[in-house]
Amino acid sequence: MNRPVLALDLGGTQVRAAVIQADGSRVARHATATPSEQGPDAVIQACIDTLAAARTDAPGGLDADLAGIGVSSPGPVNPWTGVIVSPPNLGSDFHDIPIASRLEAALGLPVYLERDTNVAALGEQAFGAARGVDDFLYVTVSTGIGGAIVSDGHLILGPDATAGELGHVSIELDGPPCGCGGRGHLEAISSGVALARDARDAVARGTSPFLVARAAASPDGPHGLDARDVAEGEDAGDGVCMRLMDHARRAFAMACAGFVNTFNPDLIVIGGSIAEHQGDRLLDPARAEIKRGSFATPAARVRLVPPVLGPDVSLAGAQPLVAARLSDDRWRAGRARLDVARPPARP
């Protein structure tokens, strides 16, 4: 499909929209702060207004050719019904929101909803690091750890669309509790939330002079600390920060070695703010662990690479998302089937 689409990236801090052309170029960008504190209706209205502004700004008759709207949202989502189930960052009332039907009614275009990491994977596959690759994983290491699985060219969704939650695999028996209710998950060890928690613990115990000083300088005290403080403490030679960062990287490396055995990917695209800042400091231990601990044949094949689309990845992915679903005759049938099913559980 060579038609442009409208893209919406609904995030906890910003609502962004743009027109995405078939070559992946992004034009007519608009953004506004997500009014989460004003409730779901205000968030939906912000989405409609931002999309309408992008459509109005579309240059050279692109607006008449728009094929549909691709929506990226934090999970869990039901992509068949177009319902956002219960994302953690969009306000306490924001659950079971039928965003696709609301946007369709307001804007008169078919709307396809997908989890942000899945949209990002489609973007990298169409225009970025995974161009021409049929078997790859997308992992984001940021505040949380999310992922997507593309196998034989297709996103793996599972019957509840929760497949690809690669941050919620257990790495440590009796490890720390995860935000999802599980224990010892990768996200509970290597994410920004986990490192911030460990930083607060270190301040409470007084074991890290670097973090104690940082907390004292922060207006929010220990609650102002995040992963970047721990990373900077490592660079400054603070022993606790060095151990925390090393532990986080080793847990990530173990997970990647397991992913190689489980999925046999050609490529693992590793994005997110922590991965971006750490670069090969995060990827090299994972490469070494794959070489040491994964099956030899898939280990020899797989490459670990950064993404290339940056913060636009979820916007760009809207074009291949709409293209794939418009041309999939079974998509609407699947949607009907899942209308009667229990909505996906929170991953």
| Nearer Cβ to Zn ion (106/180) | 180
Interacting stretch for Zn ion, rule CB under 5 A, among 88-96, 109-117, 146-154, 174-182? Answer: 174-182
Binding residues among 6-65 for Zn ion as defined by CB under 5 A: none
The window from 51-59, 105-113, 172-180, 271-279 that contacts Zn ion (CB under 5 A) reads 172-180
Name the one range near Zn ion by CB under 5 A: 116-124, 161-169, 206-214, 334-342.
Answer: 161-169
Q: Tell me how far, at minimum, the Cβ of 188 lies from Zn ion, in Å.
A: 6
CB 191 to Zn ion: min, Å: 9
User: Quick check: 178 binds Zn ion (CB under 5 A)?
Assistant: yes
CB 169 to Zn ion: min, Å? 8
Residue 185 or 287: the one with the smaller Cβ distance to Zn ion is 185
Packed helices 209-217 and 227-235: angle between N→C axes, nearest 10 degrees = 130
CB of 75 to Zn ion, least distance (A): 12
287 is a site residue for Zn ion (CB under 5 A): no
Instruction: Give the separation between CA 32 and CA 66, rounded to whole angstroms.
Output: 22
Q: Which is nearer to Zn ion, 167 or 222 (CB)?
A: 167
Query: Which residues, 298 to 317, sit near Zn ion by CB under 5 A?
Result: none
Strand partners, 225: none
Interface with Zn ion by CB under 5 A: which range of 85-93, 165-173, 231-239, 276-284?
Answer: 165-173
Residues that bind Zn ion (rule: CB under 5 A) add up to a total of 5
- Report the sign of the C-alpha dihedral through residues 182, 184, 186, 190, in that order: positive
| 185 sits near Zn ion (criterion: CB under 5 A) | yes
The Cα–Cα gap between 60 and 62 comes to 6
Does residue 153 contact residue 203 with C-beta atoms inside 8 Å? no
**Structure token pair of residue 275:** 């991965």
CB of 239 to Zn ion, least distance (A): 28
Which of these ranges, 23-31, 78-86, 106-114, 179-187, lies near Zn ion under the rule CB under 5 A?
179-187
287: Cβ–Cβ under 8 A, 6 or more apart, which residues?
A: 304
Dihedral (Cα; 98, 31, 143, 137), 10-degree rounding: 70
Tokens of 60: 């050279």
Nearer to Zn ion, 77 or 169 (CB): 169
Bridge partner residues of 33 (DSSP): 14
Indicate which single residue of 26, 168, 287, 325 sits in contact with Zn ion (rule: CB under 5 A): 168
Residue 182 found at the interface with Zn ion (CB under 5 A): yes
CB nearer to Zn ion: give 184 or 334: 184
Strand partners, 10: 15
Whose tokens are 């161009």? That residue is: 131
Q: Which is nearer to Zn ion, 184 or 306 (CB)?
A: 184
If 0-12 CB within 10 Å is exposed, 13-18 middle and 19+ buried, where does residue 254 land? buried
Choose which of 22, 180, 242, 308 interacts with Zn ion (CB under 5 A): 180
Scanning 8-16, 108-116, 132-140, 184-192 for contacts with Zn ion by CB under 5 A, the matching segment is 184-192
Determine contact, residues 17/50, Cβ cutoff 8 Å.
yes
Nearer to Zn ion, 184 or 298 (CB): 184
SS3 sequence, 40-100? HHHHHHHHHHHHHHHHHHCCCCHHHHCCCEEEEECCCEECCCCEECCCCCCCCCCCCECHH
User: Which residues of the chain form contacts with Zn ion (CB under 5 A)?
Assistant: 168, 178, 180, 182, 185
